Amino acid sequence: MKITGYRSLSTVHDWGRVTGDVNGVQSGHTTPVPVLVIETDAGIEGVGLGAHAEVGRVFPAIDGEDPRSVVALYDRMLDWVFKAGHAGSMFGTIGAVDMALWDIKAKAADEPLWRTLGARERFVPAYASGLDYGLSEEELAELYGRFAERGFKAGKLKGGRDLDRDLPRLEIVREVLGRNSRRPAVMFDANESWNQAQAARYVAAIEERMDLTWVEEPLRRWDAAGMAVLRGKVRAAIASGENLTGLEQYRPLLDAGALDVVQVGNVWGITHFLRVATLAHAHDLPVSPVAYNANPVAHAAAAVPNLLTYEVQDLHFPVGLDVDQEFDDGGIVLGDRPGLGILLDESQLSPGSSAGAVLASTGPHIRPARAALRLVAEPDVSDDPGAATEAGLVTR
């Protein structure tokens, strides 16, 4: 079997709600979902999800190769770009290709990927994560109520700007998920919006009212020394790692004893997750994947010995994707369809551009100018002065 080509496609995920975090909120209810299809001469095609702007540069490293040599091809792609480096969009592209190659490998074996990777069980324990910063308290309760109906006992709230706003929202999440547990796990995600002193004060104030299972990305992703100090100041576990690309970026955090929960982004692919999970296991630390559309890394998560829990951001899938998964008993139940279990209805997808989508000028992907530089809690509006003026919070 040989790799012969690729197709770049695009669809959207309709959340039915606004999504975002303390850094910003999406302007609409849909977000783009890039889809990469790797083609072979055997007629088996692999699906990879995520931005792949550099696929034209990476593809020659795998063209004509046997896709079942997926681990070797992963390293071959890294070697192919070693002069320029593999961070950022390049690492995302390699992750999407890697995902598609694992899909082909499992399809060629006529078994689901979780089975190919050696998992014993198809169930992946998970937590609810609604990307909920832009929701009202009523919308928040309704959203987590839907997760509770599927048995979820753990959930994560976005916040970090306004303690008076965040505290009642945390209590809503705890109360709703309390339908399934006397002590539901409640996590809090600041998305790198604090400095060390802010983080210590903010988390301490929350912990006067309730238990936090972990606080996520309290500081910048590379701040090993800061997170190590913070671990000694708060009771909550420190979780981070979703934006790190490559084992070399994890080493300083692990060497400094900065993390309690090692996180890995779905968009970086299967092989990267497996390697980070092994590295974390060597440090006696649990691993927790950060979600993406269709939860592709759940197959690998089922196969590692140190999985703590898996982030689930929604209970349905992008337009045109039929995914062989169910959500029940507080987790993901993987199916028996070969590979990742994703079927594409290309009549509902559009031809994609490998150049990648143009991102909106506002949203959670943009770091606010005053992040980690605020002395006091500020109103929950955009950092756009025009928006603040319109809301009556700024006068001229």
Return the CATH number at 59.
Answer: 3.30.390.10
Is position 352 within any domain?
A: no
Q: Are 15 and 314 in contact (CB under 8 A)?
A: yes
Q: Measure the N-to-C terminal CA separation of the chain; round to a whole number of Å.
A: 68
Q: Are 334 and 341 in contact (CB under 8 A)?
A: yes
Same domain for 90 and 188, yes or no, is: no
What is the domain count for the chain? 2
Res. 396 pLDDT band, cuts 50 70 90: very low
The last residue of one of the domains, among 53, 83, 112, is: 112
Tell me the pLDDT tens digit for each residue of 175-184: 999 999 999 9
Half-sphere exposure of 207 (CA within 13 A, CB side): 15
Is position 280 within any domain?
A: yes
Tell me the pLDDT tens digit for each residue of 231-273: 999 999 999 999 999 999 999 999 999 999 999 999 999 999 9
Is position 251 within any domain?
A: yes
Same domain for 37 and 125, yes or no, is: no
Q: What is the mean pLDDT of residues 127-146?
A: 97
The DSSP annotation for 193-210 comes to: ---HHHHHHHHHHHHTTS
Same domain for 63 and 130, yes or no, is: no
Same domain for 99 and 217, yes or no, is: no
pTM for the whole thing? Answer: 0.92
Strand-pair category, 154-158 with 123-129 = parallel
Asked if pLDDT for residue 388 goes beyond 70, the answer is no
Mean pLDDT of the chain: 92
Half-sphere exposure of 264 (CA within 13 A, CB side): 35
Is position 368 within any domain?
A: no
Same domain for 31 and 129, yes or no, is: no
Same domain for 249 and 308, yes or no, is: yes
Name the token pair of 240.
Answer: 């981070």
Is position 362 within any domain?
A: no
The last residue of one of the domains, among 330, 345, 360, is: 345
The CATH number assigned to the domain holding 315 equals: 3.20.20.120
Is position 224 within any domain?
A: yes
Same domain for 48 and 151, yes or no, is: no
Is position 51 within any domain?
A: yes
Burial 329-345 (b: 16+ CB within 10 A, else e): ebbbebeebbbbbbebe
Same domain for 140 and 95, yes or no, is: no
Q: Which residue has the higher pLDDT, 88 or 228?
A: 228
Per-residue pLDDT at 370: 79
Res. 9 pLDDT band, cuts 50 70 90: very high
Same domain for 254 and 164, yes or no, is: yes
In angstroms, the CA 69 to CA 81 distance is 19
Tell me the pLDDT tens digit for each residue of 270-292: 999 999 999 999 999 999 999 99
Q: Are 21 and 158 in contact (CB under 8 A)?
A: yes
Of 220-229, 291-300, 346-355, least confident by mean pLDDT is 346-355
Name the token pair of 103.
Answer: 């899909």
Same domain for 131 and 184, yes or no, is: yes
Give 3: exposed, middle or buried? Use CB within 10 Å, 0-12, 13-18, 19+.
Answer: buried
Strand-pair category, 261-265 with 342-344 = unpaired
The last residue of one of the domains, among 65, 97, 112, is: 112
Cα 5–Cα 11–Cα 15 angle in degrees, nearest 5:
145
DSSP bridge partners of 36: 8, 48
Asked if pLDDT for residue 356 goes beyond 60, the answer is no
Same domain for 208 and 243, yes or no, is: yes
Per-residue pLDDT at 361: 64
Per-residue pLDDT at 391: 36
Is position 357 within any domain?
A: no
Same domain for 104 and 119, yes or no, is: no
43: containing domain: 3-112
